[in-house]
Structures are given as C-alpha cells and as structure tokens.
Structure 1
Amino acid sequence: MERLDGEDWKSVAGWLLAEDLDAGVNRVLGLLGRRHAADRVWVIRYDESFTFLWNTHEWVAPGITPQMGELQGLPVEAGQWMHEGLHQDGRLLIEDIGKMPRRARGLQAELQRQGIRSLLSLPVFREGRLAFQIGYDAVHARRDWPEVVFTELGDAVSLIANALWHRGPQGVAAFPAGDRESRLIHLKDGGSLVPVSEILWIEASGDYTIIHSRGKLRQTERRSVKEWESILPRKDFLRIHRGAIVQVSAIQRLDRSGGKWRLMLLPDGPQLPVGRAYHAAVRRRLGF
C-alpha cells in the first residue's frame, strides 16, 4: 500500500480549514475509509470531566448502517476496558470482537449490536486525559490492518483532533442540569445501559443490589445501595432504608398505620418499608 502523498495531505488540510469544518472532517473520514477498506470511520469526543462521550462524526461505506445517532452522551465507564488499552498501548486493535475478554463483555455486546467484527482505534490525549478517539470498524469481515494504516491514520487523527479542539466543544451537547431523561447508567455485571428514568427502586441483596425498572424488569449488579445513592441524581431518588433507594416520582403514598411506615409505589407496585432512621428525610421530601 502506497503512503498518502503530498497532494492527498494538501487536500486534507484544505478540507479541515474550510468554513464548514464538519463537512471537512467527514470528507477526511471518507478518504481514509475508502483507502483503508474500513466499513465505518468515526470520531468520538469526551467531555472535560471524562464522564460522557459523543460520536460527533461518521462515514459509512455503502450498505453499512450508521451508528452515530445511537452513540450520544454515553457514560465513559461503559468503555473502560477500551480506554485502559488506549492509555497503555496508545492504540487499540481488536481483530476479533468475539474473542474479547470476559471483563469486557458489556462493551463486546454493544460492538456486536453494531455489527462490528474488527475494530481499530487511536486516541488523542489532552493534559493526560483522553479527549478523542478516531477509528475504523470492519463489518463485512474481520480485518487485521497493516502498520502503514496506523501511521497514516495517526497523522490524520492529529490534524482532525487539532481542528476540532480549537473550534471548541461544538456538537457535544452537555446534559442540562437535572436532565435525567438523557442519563444512562452502565451496569458492570450485565453490561447493559439503563436509563435513569426507568429505574423505580433498588434494593440490597447480599453482596449485590437488584434494580427494579419499569415493565417489571429486574437486573442484578455488584454495587451497594450507598454507591447507588452517590450515582443517582438526588433530586429524583430518595434513600428510604439502609437497603433501599426509590425514585421519588414513583411514590404513590405513605402508609403510617400501625406505627410502621411503608411507601406505596405506582398503582400496582410494591409496599416498601421505611427505616426509622430515614423517617425525617422522607417526611421532608414528601412535604409533611
């Protein structure tokens, strides 16, 4: 494979300096994708707190399903295994998605959902923190890209990232304060992403917790109730027991008959006991 020549790089620079930077980035991604036989080429950007990530640009080959619309505002922890590899090796090549390690099964499931068979990614760091990923997906068949691809992609990554960085975080919409409808939480044990708004209550079960979501969905997770309390937005959730936390909007009423407090959730939901130590907090939150 011949290297990109001076005219190629002149075109790349011109596209990235054009007035419409997004269109320029997409043209560069298309050039790289066609040259290196990738089925999908993408740019991932992270917020400054390294909490969420966004797929900001994407090129797809004919017949390949775009994924950019599905990859907006995802929690960074969902890709922890990938991020560790990028930090350690400065690149990530997954030749066979089906052979990813067990600890990456959540990420593996997401990549398989996208139809990816092989993946190549290069990082861009700012002040020691991951700021961008730019990479290739192979969908039709597994790929093992040669070293020249890493070199050319690396050169392009630097140009793209610098152009986007200097423009600022345009296209990366931060979550508005209190926007729980957009929040997703990554389950470490199940590997799935759960919308915060779907969680009704969480209860302790030994070393695990059980997440009860709308539609009577139950999932287990190796997180304590205390840890959940620190993750979930406080304006939307209330600790009612050392072993339970509930979504406030799911509370229908409080029953205090017989000297024991119980919260009724939803019209046909359960009755959850309120621990005596939490009576004052529940009283304040429910306004009586």
Structure 2
Amino acid sequence: MVIPIPTNAGPVTSDAVLQLYSRGSRQHFFQAADLICLQGDGNYTWLHWTNRPSIIMPKTLKQLAGMLPSESFIRVHRNSIVNCHYIARLERLKSGQGAVHLVNGTILPVSRRRWEAISEKLSNA
C-alpha cells in the first residue's frame, strides 16, 4: 500500500534555528527548514541537509529531537527522524513493515509501532 503525500507540502516556513556546537565551543546556526532527516548512529547523529553536505554531531538523536519543531519533524524509527515537508510518499510492505521515501531519494524504514501515527499525521497535513 502506498500513501501519496499532498504535493502542496513545500519548504518549511518555520523560522526555527538549530544552534549546534562543533570543535569545542564554536557555534554554528542552521535553519531547521533545510534539514531533511536525522539518522542516529550510537552516540552520534548524522544530519542530512538540502543545501549542504551531511554532518555528524556528537549528540544522540534524542538530544537533537528536543531542539526540533514538533510540527515539522516526526520520528519514524528508533534511529530516524524526518522533516515532514521532504517526504515524497509512505509505503506499507507486505511483511507489515513500512518505508518512507524522501524527496532526495533516501528510503528509511518505518517502525510497525509508529506506522498508524505517522500515516495519520501525514494524511492530515
């Protein structure tokens, strides 16, 4: 089963800014609207952007999730958070698992436990 996402979902209009630190106390500010997805990797998290190379941060996915606007981001798996505005479609596989297809071609798994809440949130968007 494939759930199409409305095409009117353009870039995020939120002015949310992420304040991230790297190399000691050097601060970097990023627009949350430019963030496509986050993928956890142990105590590190990969941040994938629309307009810059991916970066890795020495923070857990849980720590970074608290910094994101909840109306634009949704946790789809224990190791993935996606920006709802960059989701192309959801797909439910015969095995019961799901997949989220992002506009940049990335395919991420959707946890069975989170499927209902995700599909409902995206269909109401």
TM-score bracket relative to the smaller structure: 0.7 to 0.9
Q: Which has the higher contact order (CA 8 A, sep 6+)?
A: 2
* Counterpart in the other structure of 2:55: 219
Give, in angstroms, the shift of residue 233 of structure 1: 0.6
Does the Cα contact within 8 Å between 1:188 and 1:222 map onto a contact in 2? no
In the TM superposition, 1:36-115 aligns within 5 A as none
Aligned mate of 2:105, from 269, 273, 284: 269
Aligned mate of 2:19, from 186, 189, 199: 186
Task: Provide the C-alpha distance between the structure 2 equivalents of 1:189 and 1:278, rounded to a whole number of angstroms.
Answer: 32
Aligned mate of 1:279, from 94, 112, 115: 115
Does the Cα contact within 8 Å between 1:209 and 1:222 map onto a contact in 2? yes
Does the Cα contact within 8 Å between 2:42 and 2:60 map onto a contact in 1? no
TM-score normalised by length of structure 2: 0.77
**What count of residue pairs does the alignment treat as equivalent?**
109
Change (3 A) 1:179 1:253: closer
Instruction: Considering fraction of residues, name the structure with more strand.
Output: 2
SS at match of 1:254: strand
- Name whichever of 222-231 and 205-214 sits farther off: 222-231
Give, in angstroms, the shift of residue 192 of structure 1: 2.0
* Counterpart in the other structure of 1:202: 38
Task: Provide the C-alpha distance between the structure 1 equivalents of 2:113 and 2:59, rounded to a whole number of angstroms.
Answer: 22
* Structure 1 unaligned residues grouped into runs of 5+: 1-177
* Counterpart in the other structure of 1:241: 77
Percent of aligned pairs with the same residue? 25
Amino acid across the alignment from 2:62? K
Task: Provide the C-alpha distance between the structure 2 equivalents of 1:210 and 1:198, rounded to a whole number of angstroms.
Answer: 14
TM-score normalised by length of structure 1: 0.35
Amino acid across the alignment from 1:185? L
